[in-house]
Structure 1
Amino acid sequence: MSSKTHTLHTSRLKNNCPTCFGTDGLEFTFTQEEKETPFFKKPATEINHKLYCHTCKNDIYPVNWTEDIERVFDYNKKIAETNKQYLKVKPLFYVLVIVAIVLVAAIVYLLIPTV
C-alpha cells in the first residue's frame, strides 16, 4: 500500500516569526495524504499543517505560535479545502468481483441437483 501527499494550500504570512522575529519568512502548508492499493484510492480525512520560517530555516510548532498566527492559521485552514471523501476503485477490483460472481454461480449450479 503506497501513500501520496497532496498539497492543498500554501500561504505566505506577514506575521513576525517567534524565533527570529523576521516578518517575511513564514509559510503555512496544508497537506492531505492519499492511500493507494491495487484495488482502490482513498484520501485521508485529516489535514496536516506545517508552519515553516524561510528566514531562520526552522519549523515553528503550535506551542510557539502567537495569537496573530493562530488567527491567520484558522483563516487559512478554512481556505484549504479537503479533497472530498471518495473511494475510487480500480479495474482489478471489478475483475475480482466478476470472477467471484462467476465462481459462486458455478458452485451453485453444480451443487443443486437437477430433477
Structure 2
Amino acid sequence: MYFSVTDYYDPIGTKQIPSKCPGCGTSNCLELQFHQKRIETAFSKKITSNVSGKLFCDNTQSEIAPVVWTDEIEQYYLNEKSILKLQPKRLSFTKWFYILLMLPLSIISVVIGYNVFGQNDYESESEAIEQVSVGDKIMVLYTTTDSANVIDNGNTWFLVKKIDADSIWVQRHKVFATEGDANFDLATSKFTEETLKASLKQFKTRGLFGHDYPAQKFSGYITTLIK
C-alpha cells in the first residue's frame, strides 16, 4: 500500500442564469455549477468548506473560463455561492488508520504480556529452586574448568542426591549437550556421571558452585527444576 492524496469535487448545486454568454453571445444558455472539495487519503476522508464554481454554456456545450466572465455573471456567481447549502465539514478515518494505530499498541501489549508471563514463570521457578529437595532434577548451563582454562560448556541435567546443612550433592546426567538441545531421558537410572558437592546458599540463587570457589572445577547456572 502506498500513500496518496486525492482531491474530489462533489456537486452541490446548479443555477441557470439569464446573462448573455461571453462566448457565443446567446442569452439564457448559461449554467453555474458548484462543487465542494473533498480530500481523501489511504487513512482519512475530509470534507472541506472550499467551494469552486464553473460556468457552462448549453448552446456550445463548453465551459466558459472565469477570465471572460462579465460583471453581471460574476455577481450572479457570488450571490448563488453565498446561499449554497454545503455539506458539513467533517474528518473521518479509514480502517487503515485504525489498523496502523492499533498495531503498535497490540505489539506493546504482547511484549508486556510476554514479559509479565516470563517474569511470573521465572519467579515461580526461583521459588521452586529455593524449596529444593532430594530427588529433584535441575537443568544447568554447565562449565567444567582446568585451572584457568575452560574444558567444556553446555547444557545438562543433575539429580539432587543429598542435602545437608549448607551443602547439596548433585549427580550429572550421562548426556552433555554442547550445541543446541539434546534428547534427555530423565529417568533416575540415566544420572550416572560425577557427583558434585555444591553450596546450598548459591544453589538457591540459581548458582551451582563449590564451597572453595578459587579451586573449583565446575560452575553452572540453573535454568529449570522439576520435581
- Could you state the TM-score of these two structures normalised by the residue count of structure 2? 0.43
Deviation at 1:47, TM superposition (A): 2.0
User: Does structure 1 residue 102 correspond to structure 2 residue 103?
Assistant: no
User: Does structure 1 residue 61 correspond to structure 2 residue 65?
Assistant: yes
**Within-5 A mapping of 1:22-101:** 22-101=26-105
Structure number with the bigger relative contact order (C-alpha 8 A, sep ≥ 6) is 1
User: Does structure 1 residue 7 correspond to structure 2 residue 19?
Assistant: no
Structure having the higher helix fraction is: 1
Deviates more, 1:47-56 or 1:97-106: 97-106
Deviation at 1:77, TM superposition (A): 1.1
Superimposed CA distance per residue, residues 9-36 of structure 1 (whole angstroms, 9 cap, x where no aligned partner)? 1111111111222112100111133233
- State how far apart, in whole Å, the 1-side matches of 2:50 and 2:104 are: 34
- One-letter amino acid of the structure 2 residue matched with residue 32 of structure 1: Q
Task: Name the count of aligned residue pairs.
Answer: 115
Q: Bigger radius of gyration, 1 or 2?
A: 2
Q: Unaligned 5+ residue runs, structure 2? A: 124-227
Question: Between the two proteins, what is the percent identity of the paired residues?
Answer: 25
Alpha-carbon contact 1:24-1:55 (below 8 Å) kept: no
SS at match of 1:87: strand
Deviation at 1:81, TM superposition (A): 4.0
- One-letter amino acid of the structure 1 residue matched with residue 15 of structure 2: S
Deviation at 1:58, TM superposition (A): 2.7
Deviates more, 1:3-12 or 1:103-112: 103-112
- State how far apart, in whole Å, the 2-side matches of 1:60 and 1:74 are: 16
